Amino acid sequence: MGVEEMAVRLARLHGGDIEKAAFAGRYHDLAKNFDQETMDAYIRKYDLPEKLIGNNALAHSKVGAAILKNEFGVTDEEILDSVRYHTTAHKGMTLLDELIFVADVVEDNRTYSDLDYYQDLAYRDLDRACLEILEYTIGSLTSKGKEIDKDTLEARDWVFNKIKETENGK
């Protein structure tokens, strides 16, 4: 079961839009396997930030969204955002953003040792899954001395506060 199926499963569990989740899940990685030359050409063609040049891990989500918009004619900003931010997350995520971000990490083809834990968490509590994935990502990048995208740091703070506010409201 890949990202599309996981996104649909999570959408069913958390009351998301099934069709949007399926579509975004199917196409979120459409630019993933572009070679460097192709990726960089798209970055320039669609005036995407210069910092994406040479960084396919980050660029494929932005380029994918640009292609869906400009070449597939996708106009739904919610779908475009969920593709655009599926690698970094961002503050103010919609339900669809969270579904795609989390589905990408917990789909069945992933092989890391805590997969069962994160799947179970994603089924039960999408915000908490988001937070724990973001904290893991930030910790992992920090320990490798890699730069952390501003959107990722803001997403972590945002979802942390969202969970706190929800708990206080109970």
The contact set with Fe ion (CB under 5 A) reads 29
Nearest approach, Cβ of residue 162 and Fe ion (Å): 23
Nearest approach, Cβ of residue 60 and Fe ion (Å): 6
When the beta carbons of 24 and 95 are compared against Fe ion, the nearer one is 24
Q: Which residue is nearest to Fe ion (CB)?
A: 29
Nearest approach, Cβ of residue 87 and Fe ion (Å): 5
Neighbours of 63 (CB within 10 A): 27
When the beta carbons of 29 and 125 are compared against Fe ion, the nearer one is 29
When the beta carbons of 51 and 164 are compared against Fe ion, the nearer one is 51
Nearest approach, Cβ of residue 105 and Fe ion (Å): 10
Residue with tokens 């649909």: 8
Which residue type, as a one-letter code, is found at position 80?
Answer: L
When the beta carbons of 32 and 162 are compared against Fe ion, the nearer one is 32
Among residues 79, 71, 86, 97, which one has the least CA distance to residue 29? 86
| Secondary structure (3-state) at 141 | helix
C-alpha distances out from residue 95 to 22, 56, 87, Å: 13, 26, 15
**Residue 148 CB partners (closer than 8 Å, separation 6+):** 138, 141, 142
